[in-house]
Amino acid sequence: MKKTVLILAAISLVFASAEAKDKKQIKPISQVPVKVLVNDVDSMSYALGLNVGTDFARNLKAIPGGKSNTDLLIKGFATAMKGDSALMKPEAAMEFFKGYITKAQAKDAEVKKTAGEKFLAENKTKDSVITTASGLQYKVLVAGNGAKPQATDSVKVNYQGFLIDGTKFDSSVDRGEPITFPLNQVIPGWTEGVQLMSVGSKYKFFVPYKLGYGEKGAGNGAIPGYSTLIFEVELLGIKPLKQVAPVADTKQPVAPKAVKKSTTTKRVK
């Protein structure tokens, strides 16, 4: 039993990233408890299985590699629940699961890394795209004529963030509220890129993973590891760092409301 709990715990850790991507709640058919079987225990058991199965089916999509055999998954689950003879011992099952996930995650990471490198290689050849010595790429969408910030300044910006497949993971524009943050407390791509901007300008940045969230990613999986990122940034204003209240946590995304479904505004690492 203890080993079974450990396996389920390991699975729940793998699935945790999927919960940040899909926060839509299923609307109940009725708010009134309904007994659909012979007695309350039967109805409770069925309801529990249905709820667990619904969440499990959705989270199963987060398995690295995107593949699973549902029939065997159900068979293994039923075997463990009933205490029947299993094809694997719990210890072997745990080790195999962990090994599979490790290999699948490495493969997925390599795919994302290669895709990002290919995207940047092709993007740098496009008109008006400029590549800096660090590998950061940018394009001027609107040229401003105001002052340029220094790394020790705080900046007020509107921005939108995308993965290279077009997925939008964050947007102050959608929230209808610009954000102000110290420029030296964000991801390197932002620190470097925003210093190139004049107040009133709007740039599009193409950020390699090394200048973004690195190998680990962010936003509980909304920004996977090795992700090349695209940001549209409008610089609205500059404030000396001393005019902005001290920031308690410098390790958070810019404003991950769209990433973590939180009302707290945070910063790009």
Within a domain: 114 = no
Catalytic entry in 15, 138, 153, 170: 170
Pair 26, 67 in one domain: yes
Pair 9, 99 in one domain: yes
Using 50, 70 and 90 to split pLDDT, how confident is the model at 37? confident
Whole-number Å distance between alpha carbons of 253 and 266: 5
Within a domain: 248 = yes
Identify whether the C-beta of residue 250 lies closer than 8 Å to the C-beta of residue 267: yes
The yes-or-no answer on residue 159 being catalytic is: yes
Range of the domain at 161: 130-260
Within a domain: 91 = yes
Residue with tokens 């958070």: 252
Say how many domains are in the chain.
Answer: 2
pLDDT tens-digit map of 42-92? 888 888 988 988 888 887 777 777 788 888 888 888 888 888 888 888 899
Residue where one domain finishes, among candidates 47, 71, 106: 106
Within a domain: 166 = yes
Within a domain: 157 = yes
Catalytic entry in 179, 187, 223, 238: 187
Pair 218, 149 in one domain: yes
pLDDT at 121 over 60: yes
The residues, any chain, with a CB within 8 Å of residue 169's CB and separated by 6 or more, are: 161, 162, 163, 219, 222, 223, 256, 258, 259
Catalytic entry in 15, 138, 169, 181: 169
The yes-or-no answer on residue 231 being catalytic is: yes
Catalytic entry in 179, 213, 223, 230: 213
For position 70, what pLDDT does the model report?
86
Within a domain: 111 = no
Give the CATH number for residue 138.
3.10.50.40
pLDDT at 35 over 70: no
pLDDT tens-digit map of 192-242? 999 999 999 999 999 999 999 999 889 877 898 999 999 999 999 998 765
The yes-or-no answer on residue 187 being catalytic is: yes
Catalytic entry in 159, 181, 203, 226: 159
